[in-house]
Structure 1
């Protein structure tokens, strides 16, 4: 299993501290991919640039896909650009992958026979592994979960368990900034929509 898959399972399995937005989760998944690719030495960070290395064979096909999508010409791609490009619709891709692996099923509601329902996680080794990582407050998974609202705050110095690797800290900070930027966009659109509705009602 991979960090993004663990994050996706946790997102489905844990009651969040606030509603989890798909866009936020997709950005965090893209960041989780970078962290795993750093660990696999498939890339390195040069400042905020993703520098590809040799592409090793990875057990996870979505991580393989991510590695194949790295920009391999200088000046390379910035971490921020990667999060937005790779993150587009990524939560849906990971949900489909979990379904294909039998990790997730859809439980149809009798009140919505032609659609709807909810996702149900299978009792699997993958789920137990993710749950164990979550229960141990593994700092990377905890920080990614905090960024999207699955947990209230990231693990910090007060707990005695923190992320210390500089490249990983850079990725986590970029994910946090991207999620905040996306939230600002949502708020701006909500204000614009409300203003439009007011004008429409006034003109009606």
Structure 2
């Protein structure tokens, strides 16, 4: 399993008790991919730019796709640019992969008498137990990504400078996205207030 998969499994855990915006999670998944690609030697970090290494197949198909998506032309891509480009619609891609592998399942819930809802939760698999162990141990990468999207309050220290750079970029990108949501909500409120003032 990979860090992005562990992050998505963790975010889907009912026991966590916190929900994550899909856009925030997509940015964090792209950050998790960057960290795993660095660990695999598929990319190195020069200042804040992702410099691709030799192309070699990776065990995880989605990570392999991420490696293929790296910008291989100098001056290469900043971590922030990678997060926004690679992160687009990344959550649905990982959800589909985990569901196809049997790592996620639908859980039916009944509310009141007639209303039934379903939620996606992790299946009882070794991958779920591995992700839970990483999370319980506050493993720095997974815990740092979780803190960036609001799944936990404290961010553990990270020894590796490259990983710290990626985690900081994820935090900044999530904050930027949250600010954009606030601006849009304010514009909607202002438009609604203007409609009321005009009698619409």
- TM-score, normalised on structure 2? 0.93
**Mapping of residues 185-204 of structure 1, within 5 Å:** 185-203=180-198, 204=200
Distance in 2 between residues matched to 1:83 and 1:123, nearest whole Å: 30
Distance in 1 between residues matched to 2:115 and 2:58, nearest whole Å: 40
Residue 52 of structure 1 contacts residue 70 of structure 1 at CA under 8 Å; is this kept in 2? yes
Distance in 2 between residues matched to 1:125 and 1:7, nearest whole Å: 15
| Moved >2 Å (runs of 4+) | 14-19, 107-113
**Mapping of residues 120-159 of structure 1, within 5 Å:** 120-155=121-156
Distance in 2 between residues matched to 1:193 and 1:126, nearest whole Å: 42
Cα RMSD between the aligned structures? 1.5
Q: Which residue of 2 aligns with 1:168?
A: 163
* C-alpha spacing 1:24/1:39, structure 2 compared with 1 (3 Å): same
Q: State the SS of the aligned residue for 2:33.
A: helix
Q: Which residue of 2 aligns with 1:54?
A: 54
Residue 14 of structure 2 contacts residue 121 of structure 2 at CA under 8 Å; is this kept in 1? no
Residue 48 of structure 2 contacts residue 78 of structure 2 at CA under 8 Å; is this kept in 1? yes
Distance in 2 between residues matched to 1:13 and 1:95, nearest whole Å: 13
Residue 11 of structure 2 contacts residue 19 of structure 2 at CA under 8 Å; is this kept in 1? no
Give the counterpart of 1:180 among 159, 167, 175.
175
Unaligned stretches of 5+ in structure 2?
Answer: none
- TM-score, normalised on structure 1? 0.91
Unaligned stretches of 5+ in structure 1?
Answer: 156-161
| Between structures 1 and 2, the one with greater strand share | 2
Q: State the SS of the aligned residue for 1:117.
A: strand
Residue 17 of structure 1 contacts residue 151 of structure 1 at CA under 8 Å; is this kept in 2? no
* C-alpha spacing 1:112/1:75, structure 2 compared with 1 (3 Å): farther
Q: State the SS of the aligned residue for 2:51.
A: strand
Number of residue pairs the alignment of both structures matches: 196
